[in-house]
Structure 1
Amino acid sequence: MQKAKLTLKTEPSHSSIIQISERVSAGGSELLLIGGPCSVESRAQMDAVASRLSVAGVQALRGGVYKPRTSPYDFQGMGREGLEILAAVRDRTGMPVVTEVMAVSQIEEIAAYADVLQIGSRNMQNFDLLKALGHVDKPILLKRGLAATIEEFVMAAEYILAHGNPNVMLCERGIRSFDTYTRNVLDLGAVVALKQITHLPVIVDPSHAAGKRELVPNLTLAAIAAGADGLIIECHPDPEKSVSDARQALSLDDMVAIVEKVRAIAPIVGRTLPPVQEPLPQVVVA
């Protein structure tokens, strides 16, 4: 890993803080919580999610509009319409939005709407995409590949930094193994290692690691205890009707319950969460 000139710590206290919006950042004392559905399905869906989460202490909203699906016959996302929905919800709630970019050709369009561009695990070593994102003036959420080593993960981040974009957050989302009970294996050892060897914020995705919603709460708490700087968790107003990843999606009630558990343990590891806010006015979507 000696070739990683830009991602490695220069001293033990070297930690980068990535500014996502005026009020939201990753890598500081305040934990970053990102919540929302796997896919944007409608304006009403995203308004319901944002209205509930924004007052509970979740700072950012996730939602896929271009979806890499294993089957070509599965829902592939709403595209530009989904981006417009995300932007409208952000304007109403003030929550920055995170969405995935799959190809170089999508960067300009997505960067015009989203606050954070996510690289999914399948694209962690899409080097042309990594290079191109190095020229984007937006934070990047880089997910670990399905079977990537820690060194490969770090070097993927190095590609983005080496091409000019220092605003990279690493995301541990589980790696593939022989066991089929969980969707993937959440590698908390990697979280500890990445915090020791890199200065970049480390976000954990317990939803894709577990693949089962009942496992997400305890994995969430374990991630915070291991030193994660934040979480990205799937939730949906009606999880069983989610068009993608329904089995791992939490209800909004369960998502808020997790936030309260994180709020209780955060001070133990020297972290904080934003305070609970007053409910937002309801919006009627035609």
Structure 2
Amino acid sequence: MIVTIEHAAGFEPIEQVLRCCDEYEASLNLTRDKRYTRIRITVDQAYSELFVRLKSIVGVAKVETTGKPYPLAAREAKSAASVINVRGIEIGGSDLVVMAGPCSVESREQILATAHAVRAAGARILRGGAYKPRTSPYDFRGLGEEGLQLLAEAREATGLAIVTEVMSIADLELGAYYADIIQIGARNMQNFSLLHACGSINRPILLKRGPSATIEEWLLAAEYILAAGNEQVILCERGIRTYEPFTRNTFDVSAIASIKHLSHLPIIGDPSHGVGKAELVPQMARAAIAAGADGLIIEVHPNPAQAWSDGQQSLTFEHFEQLMNDLAPIANALGRQLNPNVQALVVS
């Protein structure tokens, strides 16, 4: 990043910048012209924290990383792609990470059966909704804390990490207590108060793209979380609303490739919501991996026809196992692997 300070501000802001750089073990290069002192800073650890601190120094004219409006999320912000560690699982690294499970937690039997099945097939993270945003207020909207407790029990039984959605600031602390990854759903992508609050919790955030959001708007939503101090952001492409009525959404595979070009943040694909039809999910899952996704989030249910939500896009245990087998050679061809036999670490 580059810090610009006017000579008229004196030496105090320069000294403060240098002290910050020393604190974060950053390397720097200082240049001066007739009006400005410019300090070029290179740092990989706590990048967003340092950025925010430098911006707050009185006398600093500007702090810039790129010409983009999302400097912390931009590819140029870091020398290497970000890797998010979740209970020993690296998202954005050499492995492809699959998150799988039901749209909503319905019962102890349902979530435990699903957890064991997806783990046996090679999933590393269990997904399941305890709080469900529904278009109709009369549809099932989740079990709340009971659902979170059942997810935690499934984690204890299988070693899978947990990702679940939180819909409000009021539920954020409780969600972070039980879950390993907090999901911000598509409808809340521009809930800026919630995004800012996510910056203060010590949990990775899975940020889904809004149904009508541009890629820039999506990255700016991520910027809210990064600027508030949480560097653990994972993006998720889940389809956007277009004029095509056959599929639930239009799964934007090009967004996955675009994010890899524009940002250092890891990205996963959600073909289940992307198309809304179980029979199309395997093809779109393969396409997402081929486009460069760091993983997938797939809806899986013991009996999709009886699911309380999103049964039409959920895979059976058998179909999910087949999908995982189909994905392995694609991953290998790209120099990556699914690592189905590696167990997630179980930590307190």
The alignment's TM-score, normalised by the length of structure 1, stands at 0.94
Could you say which residue in structure 2 is the equivalent of 1:91? 156
Aligned mates of 1:132, 1:40 — CA distance in 2: 25
- Deviation digits for residues 134-181 of structure 1 (CA, Å, limit 9, x no counterpart): 001000000000000000000000000000000000000000011110
Secondary structure in structure 1 of the residue aligned to 2:331:
helix
- Deviation digits for residues 86-129 of structure 1 (CA, Å, limit 9, x no counterpart): 00110111100010000000001110000000000000000000
Could you say which residue in structure 1 is the equivalent of 2:337? 272
2:324 maps to which of 235, 259, 271: 259
1:138 maps to which of 192, 203, 217: 203
1:26 aligns with 2:96: no
Shift of 1:243: 0.2
Aligned mates of 1:229, 1:126 — CA distance in 2: 25
* Structure index of larger Rg: 2
Shift of 1:12: 8.8
Shift of 1:25: 1.9
Aligned mates of 2:90, 2:167 — CA distance in 1: 24
| 2:232 partner amino acid | N
> Is 122-131 or 49-58 further displaced after alignment?
49-58
2:199/2:229 contact within 8 Å kept: yes
1:207/1:234 contact within 8 Å kept: yes
Could you say which residue in structure 2 is the equivalent of 1:43? 108
| 1:126 partner amino acid | N
2:77/2:264 contact within 8 Å kept: no
1:113 maps to which of 178, 196, 199: 178
1:14 aligns with 2:74: no
Could you say which residue in structure 2 is the equivalent of 1:178? 243
Aligned mates of 2:341, 2:95 — CA distance in 1: 14
Structure 1 runs not aligned, ≥5 long: 279-286
Structure 2 runs not aligned, ≥5 long: 1-66, 344-348
Aligned mates of 1:129, 1:43 — CA distance in 2: 29
Secondary structure in structure 2 of the residue aligned to 1:254:
helix
**4+ residue runs of structure 1 moved beyond 3 angstroms?**
275-278
Aligned mates of 1:146, 1:168 — CA distance in 2: 19
Aligned mates of 2:121, 2:140 — CA distance in 1: 30
1:55/1:277 contact within 8 Å kept: no
Q: How many residues align?
A: 277
Shift of 1:221: 0.4
| 2:85 partner amino acid | Q
Secondary structure in structure 2 of the residue aligned to 1:82:
helix
Is the alpha carbon distance of 1:70 and 1:197 closer, same or farther for their aligned partners in structure 2, counting shifts above 3 Å?
same
Could you say which residue in structure 2 is the equivalent of 1:5? 71
1:169 aligns with 2:234: yes
Aligned mates of 1:184, 1:223 — CA distance in 2: 15
- Deviation digits for residues 54-106 of structure 1 (CA, Å, limit 9, x no counterpart): 12210000000000000000001000100000001101111000100000000
1:202/1:228 contact within 8 Å kept: yes
Aligned mates of 1:11, 1:103 — CA distance in 2: 30
Could you say which residue in structure 1 is the equivalent of 2:292? 227
> Is 50-59 or 60-69 further displaced after alignment?
50-59
Secondary structure in structure 1 of the residue aligned to 2:178:
coil
2:312 maps to which of 236, 244, 247: 247
1:12/1:196 contact within 8 Å kept: no
| 2:156 partner amino acid | D
Bigger relative contact order (CA 8 A; separation at least 6): 1
Aligned mates of 2:90, 2:214 — CA distance in 1: 27
| 2:130 partner amino acid | V
Q: Sequence identity, in percent?
A: 52
Could you say which residue in structure 2 is the equivalent of 1:187? 252
The alignment's TM-score, normalised by the length of structure 2, stands at 0.78
1:58 aligns with 2:120: no
Shift of 1:3: 2.1
Aligned mates of 1:8, 1:56 — CA distance in 2: 35
Q: How large is the Cα RMSD of the aligned pairs?
A: 1.4
Could you say which residue in structure 2 is the equivalent of 1:281? none
Is the alpha carbon distance of 1:87 and 1:2 closer, same or farther for their aligned partners in structure 2, counting shifts above 3 Å?
same
